[in-house]
Amino acid sequence: MTTALALFSGGLDSILACRVVQDQGIRVKALKFVSPFFDYDLLERQDGYCAEVLTKYGIDVELIDISETYLRMLAAPAHGYGKNFNPCVDCKILLVRTAKELMAKYDASFLITGEVVGQRPMSQRPDTLRIIERDSGTDGILLRPLCCRGQKKTRAEEQGLIDPDKLPHFSGRNRTPQIELATEMGIADFPSPGGGCILTEQVRAARIQALYKLQKPELLTPENIRFLLKGRQYHFPSGAWLTMGRNQPENELIESLQMGKDLLVKAVDRPGPSGLLRFSKGQADQELAAAIVARYLKKTAAKSQEMQVVTGDGRSAILLVHPAADSDIKPLSW
């Protein structure tokens, strides 16, 4: 049986692309790429996610963590950035190229994506779609089954593996035809379009951009990116980083990010935010972090506050600090 390898975002277009190719008797293996900027949390529930996609859509999906290559690409994407720090064209090229490299492993004859010509301003213009093929080395093996009619034929069509006349033909931003096809196919529960990529978000993308501007490649790790994407952020003159939760779920998440020499900073015997201090250079950083976290505790008559600083292996020290003044905190905000 012929196999096609699909780039699967989990959105409606990628679901439909897989399904219309399956309907022509092709086995489809779907790859869902994850990075700290999109869908990384799925790695924690990989089996559950894959089972859910199989049950809901009949699609056999596998997660591929592309973080390391992605972080390198993001430093200098050949085709530049979009409105924020999103390198959409190079992102697509990287994902398609990686899928091509995996074709032998899955014994796949061709690749498919759910791209629809004209749907997205940066990465789905007709000329950009050609650039993606050219720069990923997938000319002739990349089939876009939702919009391939009228385009240069791929090998799968030439060899009769796929009948383009039986495929839908979508274009532009109107999604009604896709939703109608989904309804016909009995696909009811699918994610709404857009969102999902942090690099398109103004505030968090700016943090990532600021990190890249530091020109310190050793800082470009998935763990550091995840740190920067959660909570209120402060960068100290020493080079230490502090993140602090804004609510209970975020506190729990921030606590779960503790690794290596990170220090957890919390009030002693009082509810309040959790802070996570990374790259601390010593006592002064710990006191500053404790003072910032103390600032966000409920005010009391006491002038100073007992705070605890806990290492990853559970050792803790108590610090007595005055809550930091807003004017001192503001210049440290990231």
DSSP single-letter state for residue 192: P
> What is the nearest approach in angstroms of ligand SF4 to the Cβ of residue 318?
44
Q: Which of residues 90-149 bind ligand SF4 (CB under 6 A)?
A: 91-92, 123
Helix, strand, coil percentages (3-state) for the chain, rounded to 5, are 40, 15, 45
DSSP single-letter state for residue 259: -
The set of residues, in sequence order, having a beta carbon less than 8 Å from that of 58 and lying 6+ positions away, is 19, 22
Question: Which range in 46-54, 87-95, 146-154, 211-219 contacts ligand SF4 by CB under 6 A?
Answer: 87-95
> What is the nearest approach in angstroms of ligand SF4 to the Cβ of residue 200?
5
Tokens (6 digits) for 159: 């060899």
Q: If 0-12 CB within 10 Å is exposed, 13-18 middle and 19+ buried, where does residue 78 land?
A: exposed
* Of positions 14, 67, 86, 280, contacts ligand SF4 by CB under 6 A: 86
Contact 30, 58 (CB under 8 A): no
Check binding of 38 to ligand SF4 (CB under 6 A). yes
Complex with ligand SF4: residue 87 or 222, whichever CB lies closer = 87
CA 229, CA 66: separation in Å to the nearest integer? 18
Check binding of 85 to ligand SF4 (CB under 6 A). no
> What is the nearest approach in angstroms of ligand SF4 to the Cβ of residue 91?
3
Check binding of 88 to ligand SF4 (CB under 6 A). yes
Angle between helices 176-184 and 12-22 (to 10 degrees): 50
Looking at the DSSP assignment, which residues form a beta bridge with residue 33? 64
* Of positions 67, 200, 243, 280, contacts ligand SF4 by CB under 6 A: 200
**Count of chain residues binding ligand SF4 (CB under 6 A):** 10
> What is the nearest approach in angstroms of ligand SF4 to the Cβ of residue 282?
38
Tokens (6 digits) for 332: 């440290």
Complex with ligand SF4: residue 92 or 295, whichever CB lies closer = 92
DSSP single-letter state for residue 228: H
Q: Which of residues 241-280 bind ligand SF4 (CB under 6 A)?
A: none
Question: Which range in 20-28, 86-94, 159-167, 257-265 contacts ligand SF4 by CB under 6 A?
Answer: 86-94
Tokens (6 digits) for 261: 């020499």
> What is the nearest approach in angstroms of ligand SF4 to the Cβ of residue 164?
25
Complex with ligand SF4: residue 25 or 121, whichever CB lies closer = 121
Instruction: Give CA 137 to chain center in angstroms.
Output: 24
Cα four-point dihedral sign 144, 150, 156, 162:
positive
Complex with ligand SF4: residue 199 or 324, whichever CB lies closer = 199
Q: Interface with ligand SF4 by CB under 6 A: which residues? A: 38, 86-88, 91-92, 123, 197, 199-200
